[in-house]
Chain A
Amino acid sequence: MRTGSALLTNAVGLHARPSVKLTQLAKSFAGTVEFSLSPDGPWTDAKSPVKVMRVRAGKGETLHVRTDGPDADAALEAVIGLIRRQFDEH
């Protein structure tokens, strides 16, 4: 299990386009990828756009990410990178 966190700084939060990008990225890894708005959970499956959108994470929230499985390190690095790059929206 690996964990990390990043601040959501893009203008619209975890909105439709960012959510789709996050889930597509998460699905490219074999292991589990989950996130939460608090370090203690509850944890949301980052591979499900429906569940990601239900969180309605807005700008300024901190996303805590935890990954598990054979590619946990790469998955964590990639997801944190995507959030820090503001989902390549700019």
Chain B
Amino acid sequence: MPQFKVRVEVTHREGIADPAGATIERALPALGFDGISGVHVGKSIRFTIEAPDEAAARGEIEEMCKRFLTNPVIEDFAVEMVG
């Protein structure tokens, strides 16, 4: 069965406060990094999945993300096939 390398990026849903991102954004100017905005902190989850084809893999990954890897109340996800 083919294997797919996957990266899932978990981010805060739009409109949900991201206190870690906000803190980093406030800290950057103190170190001389000016002009930076829109800092968001998320999670990156990597794994390998076996599936008959890419469409089947994506279906399975989506289900995993919705049921377990993210909390849909506060988080969004993006799936990337990396190999």
A and B co-occur in one complex: no
